[in-house]
């Protein structure tokens, strides 16, 4: 079964498990996510659903007519964020169905897809862990990357050369996170450990694809 929810990271905390061990957890607010559209093999050439999510718990103040009409066809309010989720043929999802963390109450392991914290424009020491030059007085080579250039041939810099540039704000998948607790009344789900991203960052929560069977 494939199941996916949109949500946001609220922060980290710690709870006691059944063995009285203190476990660090990340608090995730997931859903509710209405199904805005259902795509089928016969009509669209592939099977998928489109889910929506409002991070603030209400529809956005400014929504164009297209977004309002698209949500209205599913019988829900306009959604700020939407995502398409591929599914196998023969699923039972219908337009207008509300997905929530209650659908994860029997799930033990999940994957979280989120964006890392943005660091802005950074140099090679912070971005690529370059050692840098001598820190002593008089040295004119401290935190620079050194020579990047090549000879007359090829007369260019090769792609993927480690240089200063934008750091962070990239999508990362954290796999096989244990589900510690599900709180359907508050739309909260607690997973063991940490996940990338700042507080309030948008993320995607799904059933683990490579879950290891513990036995």
Q: What is the DSSP string of 22-85?
A: EEEEEEEEE--EEEEEEE-HHHHSS-EEEEEE-TTSS--SS--HHHHHHHHTTTS---SEEEEE
- Per-residue confidence (pLDDT) for residue 14, from 0 to 100: 94
Task: Say if 147 falls within a structural domain.
Answer: yes
215 inside domain:
no
Mean pLDDT, the chain, integer = 89
Residue 40 confidence (pLDDT) above 80 = yes
Residues 48 and 132 in one domain: no
Task: Specify the pTM.
Answer: 0.84
The answer to whether residues 176 and 163 belong to one domain is no
Please indicate, yes or no, if residue 212 is contained in any of the structural domains.
Answer: no
Co-location of 78 and 184 in the same domain: yes
- Same domain for 177 and 141: no
Is the domain of 11 the same as that of 87? yes
* Helical residues (DSSP H) of the chain, grouped into ranges: 41-44, 65-72, 124-128
Percentage of residues of the chain with pLDDT beyond 70:
98
**Virtual CA dihedral for 111, 114, 117, 121, nearest 10 degrees?**
120
With respect to residue 132, please indicate whether it lies within any of the assigned structural domains.
yes
Please give the residue that has the higher pLDDT: either 215 or 175. Answer: 175
- The Cα diameter of the chain in Å comes to 72
Based on the fold, state whether residues 163 and 108 are members of the same structural domain: no
Q: Are residues 51 and 134 in the same domain?
A: no
Same domain, 16 and 54: yes
Looking at the fold, whether 130 and 46 belong to one and the same domain comes out as no
Q: Give Cα 77 distance to the centre of its chain.
A: 23
In this prediction, residues 73-101 reach a mean pLDDT of 85
Residue 92 resides in a domain:
yes
Pairing of strands 48-53, 81-86: antiparallel
Is residue 214 domain-resident?
Answer: no
Domain shared by 95 and 199, yes or no: yes
Cβ pair 16, 6 in contact under 8 A = no
CA distances from 194 to 20, 28, 84, 111, 168 (A): 20, 11, 26, 12, 17
Cα 68 to chain centroid distance, Å, stands at 25
Q: What is the pLDDT of residue 130?
A: 95
Whole-number pLDDT of residue 213: 59
**94-123: b (≥16 Cβ within 10 Å) or e:** eeeeebbbebbeebebbbbbbbbeeeeeeb
* Other CB atoms within 10 Å distance of the CB of residue 208: 17
What domain count does the chain have?
Answer: 2
Please check whether residues 97 and 193 belong to one and the same domain.
yes
Say if 45 falls within a structural domain.
Answer: yes
Angle, CA of 99, 105 and 110, to the nearest 5°: 85
- The domain spanning residue 113 has which CATH number? 2.40.30.10
Quick one: pLDDT at residue 198? 94
Task: Tell me the residue range of the domain where 26 lies.
Answer: 4-61+68-119+172-207
94 and 46 housed in the same domain: yes
pLDDT at residue 215, rounded to an integer: 46
When pLDDT is averaged across residues 10-21 and rounded to a whole number, the result is: 92
Residue 213 domain-assigned?
A: no
């Amino acid at each position: 079964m494939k199941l996916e929810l949109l949500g946001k990271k609220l922060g980290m905390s710690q709870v006691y498990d059944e063995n009285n061990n203190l476990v660090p957890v990340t608090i995730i607010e997931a859903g509710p996510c209405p199904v805005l559209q259902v795509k089928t093999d016969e009509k669209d050439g592939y099977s998928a659903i489109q889910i929506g999510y409002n991070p603030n718990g209400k529809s956005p103040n400014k929504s164009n007519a297209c977004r309002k009409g698209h949500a209205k066809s599913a019988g829900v309010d306009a959604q700020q964020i939407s995502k398409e989720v591929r599914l196998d043929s023969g699923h039972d999802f219908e337009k207008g169905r509300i997905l929530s963390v209650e659908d994860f109450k029997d799930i033990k392991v999940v994957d979280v897809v989120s964006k890392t914290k943005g660091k802005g424009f950074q140099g090679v020491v912070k971005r690529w862990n370059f050692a840098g030059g001598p820190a002593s007085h008089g040295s004119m080579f401290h935190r620079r990357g050194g020579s990047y250039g090549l000879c007359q041939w090829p007369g260019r810099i090769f792609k993927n050369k480690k240089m200063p540039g934008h750091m962070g704000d990239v999508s990362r998948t954290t796999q096989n996170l244990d589900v510690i607790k599900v709180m359907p009344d508050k739309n909260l789900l607690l997973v063991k450990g940490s996940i990338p991203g700042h507080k309030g960052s948008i993320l995607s929560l799904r059933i683990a694809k490579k879950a290891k069977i513990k036995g």
